[in-house]
Structure 1
Amino acid sequence: MLKAYRAELLSVARDPRDAGPAAVRHESDGLLVVEDGIVVARGPYAELAGKYPEPEVLPGLVVPGFVDAHVHYPQTDCIASYGEQLLDWLDKHIFPAEKAFVDKAHAAAVAAFFLDELLRSGTTSALVYPTVHAQSVDALFEAALARRMRVVSGKVLMDLGPEGLNDTPATGRAESEALIRRWHGRGRLGYAVTPRFALSCSDEQLAEAGALLDEHPEVLMHTHLAENVHEVAAVAARFPDAADYLDVYDRFGLVTQRSVFAHAIHLPERSCARLRESGAGVAVCPSSNLFLGSGHFDFGQADRHGLRLGLGTDVGAGTSFSMLRTAGLAYQAALAREDRLDPFRALYLATAGSAALLHIEDRVGALEVGQEADFVVLDCAATQLLARRTGGADLATRLFALQILGDERAIAATYVMGECAWKSPKPSTLC
């Protein structure tokens, strides 16, 4: 079925760090044409009018659906848990909660709420941590398949986890292989080999994870790296012969162009050079870094090395499902280190940049012809303050205000494969 949408259209398909202003594509009065969920035409309305069916007018600023490059669905109910930095926070709040995901019904209920919250926040694709339990992966993928969302996930590997939240190298390998066969490539789903982090896995399990990655060149690798100074010190103590934290993963074949490392805020120059050489990428998670007192990501260091970057909410240490809110916090984290993150680059990181980390940039992230028609309608007048700040403003000012002042309230509607998947009960006004 052919559908046409008339709206103000904005996307950033390439990193403005490298491509400059040419990375930004904007039609102030545009037409987006979708057939069977795929974009078949895009351009100025005046040029395309009359060639396609009468369009539906979308009041607001239309951008690609957000792509969350790092988020934990089992931590949904632990958001806003008080008082600890990373390692103690895991022990006190997270590990006890994740044990409940041995129950498939519990996992299914949380997965449904989690994915609906993503849609309400304008997120249509995500790289998601489940738990060590295979049924937690099944529950997430079943819910994502029903919503036609593009989700990448994989069973957490952690044979050194607490009782009730651990596996073995053998069971972790066998369950992961079964899940890959069952889910990878089904609908819009993808798999990621997911060792929780270096401290949660024995050397044998890290080696098994590396072997899995090598034997399945179609899947990703997803883990945590250098998030917190106490974590970095603990990794150094356990692996005294490693050059640094990244080298621990490298020794087991886990640093490749298909690797996505969350956080990476305490990296030596050697690690940055190795990330660039390997083609691995970093999911920047400013909300959780601030909430857990971990520090601020060093955009200047990353840009000197030309690292591939995306953006993640990292719920539940992250305090919002909103990628708009997360982009605003990324700006503030950059400025804390005297770097500037302009709003168009922030939009890139939240869309095409994160899609590139997930190796799905040919499918989502830019609303280009041939891509899947996942998009969001943003409402610049969602709150009185936003309306006052953006009234009569230019595009950059409106986009920046949405990132600093906006959140899920600024999402007027979320479309998945060209169909409305969520709509605000509040009428949208022109952005």
Structure 2
Amino acid sequence: MPETNTNRPKILLGQTLAFDGSPFDTGVDAARYERRGAVAVVDGKIAKSGNADDIRNHFPDAETVDYGGYLILAGFIDAHVHYPQTAMIASWGKRLIDWLNTYTFPEESKFGDRAYADDIAGRHLDITLTHGTTTVASFCTSHPESAEAFFAAAKARNMRVAGGKTCMDRNAPDTLCDTPQRAYDESAALIAKWHGRGRAVYAVTPRFSPTSTPEQLAAMGALWAENPTTLMQTHLSEQVDEIEWVKSLYPTARDYLDTYEAHGLLGPGAMFGHAIHLEDRERDRLHEAGAALIHCPTSNCFIGSGLFDMGGLMAAGHLVGLATDTGGGSSFSMLRTMAAAYDIAQLRGTALHPSQLIWLATVGSARAMRMAHQIGNLEQGLEADLTILNLASTPAIAQRHAMADDIWEALFPTIMMGDDRAIADVWVAGTRVEKL
């Protein structure tokens, strides 16, 4: 739980890393690194960041927190999670459909119980905070209680989050199925209660085309059109057999993406998880529409989905975020997720630079969630969600860190081998989070 905040300015001293642009476009020159850096925080927002001496001169009466050689950067942003799958993470891996039927649907059926949903929602957010993640975009379950629990837990921790009731009206147990009208009505009520209140953003959430009829997708498209400041999140082209299933359910659709596009579920603010096996038309339309693709590398490995084309999609100008996809993903850690993204890119012939990996987990995910004007960087006016990294958190990492010639060599071992031990501190909206 966050500590009580005060209005007194604070200065966090340490190494700092921010971005003036995308390292996918301009390389490491996009990064702004200060060896003796600082971040000034006033009223929960970043007032200034840069050289430590300059910051201290601007705020001579500020309270100072000295992190020494630790690295201060924006809090990690996990752009695609399933908080109801927290308790079943790392369940023995099967293919997607078997995995859903064996593990996911039975667990999600429990979330009509508000007390159970409250427990798991709080557990998920506490675990993510210990891993340096300050924002998540989460699928809830089809029970409104699960969305209520998620937003309430985030409010108690003052976290900026996105989430929504997951809508399904076929190919799932009766305990999880709703109807097009119920999905619309219950989602609309949740939007009215939570969207834009405090740090909450609602995401219209059809699970994916196989578990929604055309009528339900149309209802979700209508709801999104009526509430254009909400997000829309779903899944797209995760596995080859899933794509064949979609073709059998929607025989007149041009491709998987068309099942969403035809029902008003494509445009800015749409976030498509996975997007591995895209056809040329789909790639072109996603880019043209300004939709975001969310890369979930640990999940793609764990369930055997395939290799996301980070190099090709970024070169084509796509909007890409990064995510754990817990519990399909096998880790709550965005560090572990960055490492998996590196591995997958290598298998496709692209070596992602440390600057690109950190950018994806912060600015990239913020852009994908349409929150770059609020979080994801060390910029004046952004909300002060911060993660403090110990770049020598284990003996194995420390011995490699000692040989580093620059910040990238110092940071890369933590990306590849780090875990929650690398998270020295976390700040949410300018308030230091108590150790959990």
TM-score for the superposition, normalised by structure 2: 0.95
Contact 2:17 2:71 in 1 (8 A): yes
Distance 1:58 1:210, change over 3 A: same
Flag structure 1 segments of 5+ consecutive residues without an equivalent. Answer: 425-431
Whole-Å separation in 2 of the counterparts to 1:238 and 1:321: 33
Whole-Å separation in 1 of the counterparts to 2:381 and 2:93: 47
Post-superposition Cα deviations, 1:249-300, rounded to whole Å, max 9, x if no partner, equal 1111101011000000000111111111000011100000000011110113
Determine what percentage of the aligned residue pairs are the same residue.
44
Contact 2:392 2:414 in 1 (8 A): no
Q: Secondary structure at the match of 1:50?
A: helix
Contact 1:124 1:150 in 2 (8 A): yes
**1:54-65 map, 5 Å:** 54-59=63-68, 60-65=70-75
Post-superposition Cα deviations, 1:99-120, rounded to whole Å, max 9, x if no partner, equal 0001000000000110000100
Q: How many residues align?
A: 424
1:16 to 8, 11, 23: 23
Structure 1 equivalent of residue 337 of structure 2: 326
**1:97-108 map, 5 Å:** 97-108=107-118
Q: Secondary structure at the match of 1:14?
A: coil
Whole-Å separation in 2 of the counterparts to 1:269 and 1:355: 26
Residue 355, structure 1, aligned to residue 362, structure 2: no
2:389 to 365, 370, 378: 378
Post-superposition offset of 1:396: 0.6
Q: What amino acid maps onto 2:226 in structure 1?
A: E
Structure 2 equivalent of residue 407 of structure 1: 419
Hey, which bits of structure 1, 4+ residues long, moved more than 6 A?
Answer: none
Contact 1:256 1:278 in 2 (8 A): yes
Residue 93, structure 1, aligned to residue 103, structure 2: yes
Flag structure 2 segments of 5+ consecutive residues without an equivalent. Answer: 1-6
- CA RMSD of superposed structures (Å): 1.1
Post-superposition offset of 1:48: 2.8
Contact 2:220 2:265 in 1 (8 A): yes
Whole-Å separation in 2 of the counterparts to 1:14 and 1:126: 23
Q: What amino acid maps onto 1:4 in structure 2?
A: I
Post-superposition Cα deviations, 1:12-42, rounded to whole Å, max 9, x if no partner, equal 3532112333320111111211111011111
Residue 416, structure 1, aligned to residue 428, structure 2: yes
Distance 1:83 1:55, change over 3 A: closer
Q: What amino acid maps onto 2:102 in structure 1?
A: K
TM-score for the superposition, normalised by structure 1: 0.96
Contact 2:314 2:320 in 1 (8 A): no
Whole-Å separation in 1 of the counterparts to 2:35 and 2:47: 19
Whole-Å separation in 2 of the counterparts to 1:163 and 1:14: 48
Post-superposition Cα deviations, 1:230-257, rounded to whole Å, max 9, x if no partner, equal 1011011111221111111111110101
Structure 2 equivalent of residue 277 of structure 1: 288
1:153 to 158, 163, 180: 163
Residue 141, structure 1, aligned to residue 148, structure 2: no
Whole-Å separation in 2 of the counterparts to 1:405 and 1:304: 28
Whole-Å separation in 1 of the counterparts to 2:376 and 2:199: 14
Structure 2 equivalent of residue 266 of structure 1: 277
Structure 2 equivalent of residue 317 of structure 1: 328
Q: Which moved more, 1:375-384 or 1:199-208?
A: 375-384
Whole-Å separation in 2 of the counterparts to 1:20 and 1:385: 28
Residue 188, structure 1, aligned to residue 195, structure 2: no
Post-superposition offset of 1:392: 4.2
Q: Secondary structure at the match of 1:209?
A: helix
